[in-house]
Structure 1
Amino acid sequence: MDRSLDQLRRRLLIQCRPSQADTAAEIADAHDGGLVLTGAEPEAIVRRLRRRGFGGPILCDADRYSGKRRVSAGRGIRPAWCRRQHDLGLIAVTDSGYLATGNWPGLRTILRAASKQRGPVIAMLPLAARWFFKRPVVEAMARELNAYGVPVAVALEHAGDPFGTQYVVRHFLHLLRTTTVPVLLLRSDVSAIGALCHGAHAAAIGTTSALRHFHPVTPHGRPRPPGVSVFIRHLLSHHRLDTCETVFADTPDTSQFWLCDCVVCDGATPARLRAAGDPATVALRHSLHSQFLLHHELFHRPRTHEQLASAWHENCSHALFLHHQVAEHVDHWRTPLNVRSWYAVTDDPLQRATIPRQPTDRALPSPQPSE
């Protein structure tokens, strides 16, 4: 592995637009994280961040694969884009086009071109989620990745949350297990932390819904969801601030789980952010800090792969228990599909190694995480 890739190992990154770079860099710097700048003109922003002292890793996502003007993977990559990143002292991420399901020529075009670039390069793979529908396809993809020997960054196209589908969780983890090259996950949400616990080299959480995966192209676009949402650490999910007020008020028996120790909340609940002068900005800051605190909780001390997988499964189990508790008090409550998928697909390898496997109801997780 190229030594420059070592700086990314097990790092949580923030994927943002240029307008959010200063805020994202401040938060990433506080938690030893990194950035993924999304856009076609990163030079001025990278130089400004370096002048201001940000020393963490920066990746650049040209984002040629999303939106109505996206290009196909068959268009190849532009070597000049890689050179521009190298000139900034960065690891280059290819400006790949969209990889529709089954576009094997496009996949090979990206990998072949990336393997010929000078300097450290990561091949960007913007994949339709259906690439992960069948295990043999994922195994064939892993063979291609291993043959070219190029580190890759995966972003997933899905109408909702790609990790809300069990086949994506199951087969993305299979890809991590069967590849010999570093695999990064970009454009994700809290599932980025789950991916890190299961062996992803690095992973990025997006600052907006559009940067937590990329959407299929539709004739009419997508309406923006109303309201401001925040990440609730023990639920492992984002919820609107007005919804949080209702939940916190109606669930006094679980009130200890709604308190947040991030620098924004300072021991209070995120519901108070609704009264801030700029709720959207403070909500974003809270959500990023909170996810980094979760990452720190899992990675601050050395753990084996099995210990990390166990800790993540335990977090998902506890989150599902709390969602069930909330659903008993709040009408029409929906448990996020990604938390359900992670819990259903994975298990606790440490518990499996010590306790004979018993028939279980996956809908009834254990009520509390062990101390």
Structure 2
Amino acid sequence: MIQVDASRVGFVQDQLDPIRSGLVISGPRALRKASQLRDNGYAGALIADPAFYENGVATPEEPYLSRTDELPTTDPLGHAVQQQLAAGATAALTPTGYLRTGDIAAVRAAVREVSTREDPRVVLALPIDAGWLRSDLIGRFIEELVAAPGLKAVMLGGQLDPLASLPEALTGLARILTEVPGTALLRTDLAAFGALARGAVFAGYGLSSRLRHIVPPSEPAQSSGFADSPAVLFPELMALFLGKTLARRFAATHAPVCECVACGHRLLDSFPSNRDVRPAARHNTAVLMSWQRALQTLAAGPERQRWWQERCRAAVNRYPVVNAAIRQPNGFQVQPQLLRWSLLDPAPSAPASAGAD
């Protein structure tokens, strides 16, 4: 799935595999946009995420939230589910508030309430702080999730890259995907593929940086710098770089030629400004769809996990080669999450239903 805000659906809609992919639309305009898509004949998988967790925290008394511009309701869960399904969503996310690290009572309350619903289209949304992935908490968290019926959708909160914030974060995520049947990963980056390889039932890659993680409520968003050009996926290095960074790095040499279906032999350094947001989004999505097709040729379980690990290792090994070619020893630097995926060995076994089928 490609996770996108309502204003950018048109950037990528025609790039999606109509059977194996779909859209997750996030934000306050998600319901309206989902309804418009259905009215216009869109038949693919569709989730409308109101993203209440961006503005409020789950508590044991109120694990589910309502829109702040609506009258309070005694059943925020039922109301949210009804709205999403009425808008044409394939499945409805629970309106869970942000789950602070260690608040096991709030997690338990969300699980308990959703367990009273018998509709298989209801997906328990779990917008969790990355601190839940610590080794001293992950076991308790998994115990609560195993009791929840149906599908679960984990979304990670934290500044910048939550999976790089803790050395044990990736291992904790892998445990959830392996030990909790029916788990998905939304609002993420290239970890979407690692999740699918580890058994996620589906995953959502965020088209923009703010949709690749959750900034905890009441915290200002941290930034790695002013983004005056779009993020562009460099396939060989399996990482996103600003378009202006790619243009600068390849200024004195030939940039790689991208042969994805969206680019048609376009040079990878030709996305230097924010005027290039649309073509960059189409490039990124086309590359992701090609990776998805490759993943789905493999049997679910260890074979997919080895494929992902080998791709990550090959990418890590390409960094010094590319840097030598551009004569900049530190031109491109391996991102921590990519390195950790390259070192994470396949699990001994994986659920039979694993992986994007």
- Counterpart amino acid of 2:230? V
- Number of the residue aligned with 1:86: 85
Corresponding pairs, count: 328
- Give ranges in structure 2 of 5+ residues lacking alignment: 65-75, 350-357
- Counterpart amino acid of 1:305? G
User: 2: distance between equivalents of 1:231 and 1:81?
Assistant: 35
- Aligned pairs (5 A) from 1:161-310: 161-164=161-164, 165-179=166-180, 181-217=181-217, 220-223=220-223, 224-248=226-250, 258-274=256-272, 278-299=275-296, 301-310=297-306
Secondary structure at 1:278's aligned position in 2? Answer: helix
The 1:196–1:103 alpha-carbon spacing in structure 2 relative to 1, beyond 3 Å, is: same
Supply the RMSD in Å over aligned alpha carbons: 2.5
The 1:272–1:225 alpha-carbon spacing in structure 2 relative to 1, beyond 3 Å, is: closer
User: 1: distance between equivalents of 2:113 and 2:347?
Assistant: 40
The 1:348–1:115 alpha-carbon spacing in structure 2 relative to 1, beyond 3 Å, is: closer
- Counterpart amino acid of 1:280? V
TM-score after normalising by structure 1: 0.81
User: 1: distance between equivalents of 2:291 and 2:315?
Assistant: 13
User: 1: distance between equivalents of 2:217 and 2:339?
Assistant: 27
- Number of the residue aligned with 1:72: 58
- Counterpart amino acid of 2:231? S
Tell whether the 8 Å contact from 2:31 to 2:50 is kept in structure 1 after alignment. Answer: no
Query: 1:65-88: per-residue Cα shift (whole Å, max 9, x none)?
Result: 12xx32334422212001112223
The 1:315–1:302 alpha-carbon spacing in structure 2 relative to 1, beyond 3 Å, is: closer
- Counterpart amino acid of 1:282? P
Percent identical: 24
Secondary structure at 2:269's aligned position in 1? Answer: helix
The 1:348–1:92 alpha-carbon spacing in structure 2 relative to 1, beyond 3 Å, is: closer
The 1:148–1:347 alpha-carbon spacing in structure 2 relative to 1, beyond 3 Å, is: closer
- Counterpart amino acid of 1:191? A
User: 2: distance between equivalents of 1:182 and 1:158?
Assistant: 24
User: 1: distance between equivalents of 2:257 and 2:116?
Assistant: 51
Moved more, 211-220 or 338-347: 211-220
Tell whether the 8 Å contact from 1:112 to 1:148 is kept in structure 2 after alignment. Answer: yes
- Give ranges in structure 1 of 5+ residues lacking alignment: 1-12, 351-371
Tell whether the 8 Å contact from 2:12 to 2:281 is kept in structure 1 after alignment. Answer: no
Q: CA deviation at 1:220?
A: 4.8
- Aligned pairs (5 A) from 1:325-340: 325-328=321-324, 329-333=327-331, 334-340=333-339
- Number of the residue aligned with 2:140: 140
Indicate the structure with greater helix content.
1
